[in-house]
Amino acid sequence: MAKILMKGNEAIGEGAVRAGCRYFFGYPITPQSELPHYLAKRMPEVGGTYLQSESETAAANMVFGAAGAGARVMTSSSGPGISLMQEGISYIAGAELPCVIVNMIRGGPGLGNIAPAQSDYFQAVKGGGHGDYRLICLAPASVQEIIDLMQDAFDLADKYRNPVMLLADGVLGQMMEPVELGEEKEITVPDRPWAATGRKKGGPKRLINSLYIVPEECEKHNLKLGEKYAIIAREEQRWEEYRLDDAKMVVVAFGTCARICKAAVDSARAEGMAVGLIRPITVWPFPNDVFAGVKETANNFLVVEMNMGQMIEDVRLAVSDARPVHFYGRVGGMLPVARDVLNEIRKLYDGGAAK
Amino acid sequence: MSKLSERITIFTGNIGSGKTELAINYALRLKQEHDRVGIVDLDIVNPYFRTRVFRDYLEQNGLKVVAPAGELAGADVPALPAAILGILEDEGIKGVFDVGGDDIGATALGRFKPLLPEGSYGMFFVVNTCRPFTRTVEGIMQVLKAVEKASRLKVTGLVSNTNLGSGTDIATIETGHNIVTEAASRLNVPVTFMAVRNELAAELAQRFPQENLFPLNLHVLPPWLRG
């Protein structure tokens, strides 16, 4: 099948359609607006529904409703819009409904700007909304990986009856890369015996709800959710290892940052430094397993992010203070450049372990 | 490539068809032959990969850059600088317009119709058949008609610009070019030129001796491919 040149935002849309998503509710915001733009054209072609909501709050609640009725459904936004959605996302997690939420992060906090950032990491992996819940959180680093992960995103959402977030930044949304779409497959959406689709002459009553007014019941519900999250944390960690064999120093970065860091790792290797990269693909669950071995062989770690240092907390937990973990970041919509990352590597490579 | 004749050259097309890359290359080429060349960033759609990002580089190369300046450059508002009129009214300058994608981007152009009487401009519609929605002759015609309607101007030629970015090969270009040629003939407009990456120009010149080849230096690149 012929390759096609796609923007990351378009690839999310096409990937969702191919994964059987037939409902999209959202509100435009830069830098993800190409996604609703694409689906406004594409959804009618497959008999799906594209609806521009009046706000992000409305979009999240439309997703809540559609998911409760058993639909494969998605919404997308960027920073400020995702913040507006948090109440709905918490309700969806509480009601254990599958859906996919896309955040193409822009510079913050507040209104910030429209440039790329990774500063919504905490919001994505530590909660965001209220209550004890988790989002499964996927962080692609290329347009092809977006296409491949969209199917997984919807499948994971179904498997665990849990919202899945696709976490990326504006660069990945805007840039174009060639992708292989593969054959369009007939998608069978898993049976949803829990969906509220009407009683149809005396069928069982199904209630979509996140209200547990009796504390004992609410505790039981939280414990059940906790068990589910523990299984996800154990079973669903994903990561990419890049030139990790014999690495004395390990760079950790996700998404766009990882692309930049790969170039820096290549340069460092060319200068004779044994440097490798771990790229978390799931940022929740964080890929702790890969660090268990690496922390024994590497002298130190360098976390590179487009924020003030957020994922570094998870890296420190994963390394459990066995080795120094350093940080380099650019913020406010600025991108790290490979040569600056390389400079950090040079600074830390020999002396870093002693610090 | 020869025949850079129009005083005002406008690049339109589908989102992501290559308009910015073409406008930059075209303006730099014009500068080799003309003293005064201006490039206008009319893109109110695309937030990142647009002409204003390259302002310093273009100015160093002697181009007059007309784009939202200072803090407005990154503002998410469809603001157009008044200096655009200077390019349109000054008979002594060659102007190159980089228009935003699709009919939505082309809407910004419609406002200048009174200053662009028929015959006074060349409006090129850039086509990459590897992009969604312009993969077929019908798709190309549909987007082109929508752009003409929104801009209230007529497309005077197609630019054959099929590519897969870094993954472009000769076969891809050839397949795309055949579709573009067919669309041009159905629309009764010429294929004004065929844009190709510099490294592929020699081989394509042999394969398509009848076409007007425009070799491109690539500027619009993801951050990890920039210096």
Segments of chain A with pLDDT less than 50: 352-355
| CATH number of the domain within which A318 lies | 3.40.50.920
Optimal mutation site among A18, A176, A260, interface B, most CBs of chain B within 10 A:
A176
Q: Inform me whether the C-beta atom of residue A259 falls under 8 Å from chain B C-beta atoms.
A: yes
Range of the domain at A18: 4-235
* CA separation for the pair B64, B59 (Å, rounded): 6
- pLDDT tens-digit profile of B187-219? 999 999 999 999 999 999 999 999 999 999 999
For residue A273, the 8-state DSSP code is -
- pLDDT tens-digit profile of A59-71? 999 999 999 999 9
* CA separation for the pair A32, A139 (Å, rounded): 15
The confidence band for B49, taking pLDDT boundaries of 50, 70 and 90, is: confident
Is it the case that residue B2 has pLDDT exceeding 60? no
Is it the case that residue B174 has pLDDT exceeding 80? yes
Looking at chain B, the whole-number percentage of residues with pLDDT higher than 70 is 97
In terms of domains, do A249 and A229 share one? Answer: no
Beta strand A99-105 with B37-42 is unpaired
In terms of domains, do A49 and A142 share one? Answer: yes
In terms of domains, do A94 and A146 share one? Answer: yes
Q: Inform me whether the C-beta atom of residue A317 falls under 8 Å from chain B C-beta atoms.
A: no
In terms of domains, do A219 and A140 share one? Answer: yes
* CA separation for the pair A250, A269 (Å, rounded): 12
In terms of domains, do A77 and A122 share one? Answer: yes
In terms of domains, do A78 and A227 share one? Answer: yes
Please judge whether B47 and A3 are an interchain contact, meaning their C-beta atoms are less than 8 angstroms apart.
no
Of the three residues A235, A264, A283, the one that is the final residue of a domain is A235
Of the three residues A235, A253, A275, the one that is the final residue of a domain is A235
Q: Inform me whether the C-beta atom of residue B47 falls under 8 Å from chain A C-beta atoms.
A: yes
- pLDDT tens-digit profile of B104-137? 999 999 999 999 998 899 999 999 999 999 999 9
Beta strand A249-252 with A275-280 is parallel
In terms of domains, do A152 and A262 share one? Answer: no
Please judge whether B132 and A3 are an interchain contact, meaning their C-beta atoms are less than 8 angstroms apart.
no
**Burial class, A199, CB count within 10 angstroms (exposed 0-12 / middle 13-18 / buried 19+):** exposed
Question: How many domains are there within chain A?
Answer: 2
Q: Which residues of A touch B138 (CB under 8 A)?
A: none
Of the three residues A194, A219, A235, the one that is the final residue of a domain is A235
In terms of domains, do A54 and A198 share one? Answer: yes
Would you state the pLDDT for residue B26?
97
Q: Which residues of A touch B165 (CB under 8 A)?
A: 5, 176-178
In terms of domains, do A273 and A129 share one? Answer: no
Mean pLDDT of chain B: 92
Mean pLDDT of chain A: 95
Q: How far is B106 from chain A (nearest CA, A)?
A: 15
Q: How far is A225 from chain B (nearest CA, A)?
A: 40
The tokens describing B49, both together, are: 């990969």
pTM over 0.80: yes
- pLDDT tens-digit profile of B152-168? 999 999 999 999 998 89
Q: Which residue of B has its CA nearest to A175?
A: B222
DSSP string, A184-240: PPPP-PPP-TT-----TTTPPP--------SHHHHHHHHHHHHHHHHHHHHH---EE
Residues 6 or more apart whose CB falls under 8 angstroms from that of B71 comprise none
